[in-house]
Structure 1
Amino acid sequence: MAPTQLPASGNPLVGSVFFDMTLGGEPLGRITFELFRDVVPKTADNFHHFCTGESKGPAGRPQGYKGSKFHRIIPNFMCQGGDFLNGDGSGSTCIWGFKSFDDENFARKHDQPGLLSMANAGPNTNGSQFFITTVPTPFLDGKHVVFGKVVDGMNVVKKMEATRTGYKGKDVPNLDVVIAQCGEM
């Protein structure tokens, strides 16, 4: 089966955001994503707001991915982050002030590396957590919403994937993998 055809760069319905990554406090590089607002606008907007810091928490302070860790890395599968509340995969929120929101659709398939997909705890439990695939993962189709793709910096994702794990659990990186800066392109 051929990979999913992705929107062309520069499409006004597709937003671009970035992560500047560090590993153990040292610069690792930039990852640039295109978000599929034409297919999953609600999911893309949720991620976009957390990238830009536009979202406000209960106390009215900005909340988002800046300074948060990738708390789970599994080689030949994915790198997971987005828990800026607890930093360990137990926290979740969305831009609408709830813990989670419903699956928008499963139109995009997990048919290639570099896809941005929602991490969840079952159907209709999307929040702030996400993962980046490092290989095709078709077994996730119909379970996790694909809402974007790495368009530059897959080499950075591969460096993240190669990070030794085992700290506080088998999938936890030994060195902090941090989103030092993020925003809109």
Structure 2
Amino acid sequence: MNAVRRALAVTGLAVALAVGTAVPAAATYADSAAVSTSVATGTVAAPASVAVDDWCITTTVTTTRTVHTDPVTGAQTQTAWSRTSIDSASSINVNSDTSTSVSGPGLNETTTTRIQQDTELYVSATWQASGSRGVTGYAVAAHLSDGSAFIMATTAGTSMSGHEDADARRYSPRLSVTTLTSYNWTATSALTRVLSC
């Protein structure tokens, strides 16, 4: 009986060894492969040949008002009123507001004439389109001598026009034009000459 048990145990051990050698190892592994990565580089072209034209216009507004004063009650009644506005080219910045009054033209009447003058700086700019891909438009900025800058206009075309009070001349404004793209890359032109009347 013991002999039979020993024979079965040996047979079982042999089967276990045979099965064990037939099962693949359970160790894990990973395949690796070289991956080539690169980042595309590129540039955005700024607008070229930016040209500006600038000029000043002074607007003169003249308002005339005639008032009758009742000599007994002192009550005042407006008897006439007029206003004219004239634009003229100017090489200087004018800011003035003056009033003068004279008697008449009728009895107990006073006519007051108020003259207001203000000068605006006008500018137009043109440039060559950027040849970069994905261009969505252009932003025109004014750069001031105090270091500040502000956007005057954005446009899909290659020109713009606008105006500001001629008081801005004291800050020696110059323009730049920036190319805008759909992928948020930009490029800015050199500054133009100082704008003036």
* Superposed pair shares fold, TM > 0.5: no
Q: Tell me which protein shows more strand as a share of its residues.
A: 2
Q: Provide the TM-score with structure 2 as the length reference.
A: 0.22
- The higher-RCO structure (CA 8 Å, 6+ apart) is 1
- TM-score (norm: length of structure 1): 0.23
Name the larger-Rg structure.
2
